[in-house]
Amino acid sequence: MPKLTRRGFLATTGAAIGVRGVAPLARSGSGRRILTLVYDKSLGMMRAVERVVH
């Protein structure tokens, strides 16, 4: 298991909270979903960012 620094923990927690907040909006069906891969320096790896465009 990789070591999580404070910065990495905050980034992971923020991403998880963001996903939970956006989920109801994404289920509404209106708009287009855009998935983008970005390199997160704090995690040291790629992560997916999903946006809903109306």
What's the length of the chain? 54
Q: What is the pLDDT of residue 25?
A: 59
Q: What is the pLDDT of residue 16?
A: 78
Is residue 42 included in any domain, yes or no?
yes
SS3 2: coil
Q: What is the pLDDT of residues 1-54, one digit of tens each?
A: 567 788 877 787 887 777 776 666 556 667 788 888 888 888 888 888 888 887
- The residue range of the domain holding 42 is 28-53
Is residue 45 included in any domain, yes or no?
yes
Is residue 2 included in any domain, yes or no?
no
Copy the structure tokens of residue 45.
């790896």
The pTM assigned to this predicted structure is 0.40
Task: Return the half-sphere exposure (C-beta side, CA atoms, 13 A cut-off) of residue 21.
Answer: 7
In whole angstroms, give the CA distance from residue 8 to residue 25. Answer: 26
Q: What is the pLDDT of residue 48?
A: 86
Is residue 10 included in any domain, yes or no?
no
